[in-house]
Amino acid sequence: MADGAIAADQLKLLIERIERLEEEKKAIADDVKDVYAEAKANGYDTKIMRKIVALRKMERHELQEQDALLETYRAAVGLS
């Protein structure tokens, strides 16, 4: 019976940790939203900024492959 109580306590603690982390994640997401709003107010294109953030997360070789493929497709449709 003691093991059941311990497991229940552990489960409750894990769920509470997840809930706290979800709250922190929402707060951080709100902060990011505020930064984008500030950037937009200063005349920056937030769509392009989001793209740059995504590109910076990529590995160099992945970025090079994506750039090469994009250039190939642009040339194929006459956008180069």
Write out pLDDT tens, residues 38-73.
999 999 999 999 999 999 999 999 999 999 999 999
With b meaning 16 or more CB within 10 Å and e meaning fewer, what string describes 3-31? eeeeeeeeeeeeeeeeeeeeeeeeeeeee
Which pLDDT belongs to residue 23?
98
Residues 4 and 38 in one domain: yes
Residues 3 and 35 in one domain: yes
Residues 28 and 66 in one domain: no
Please give the residue range of the domain that contains residue 26: 1-43
Q: What's the pTM?
A: 0.74
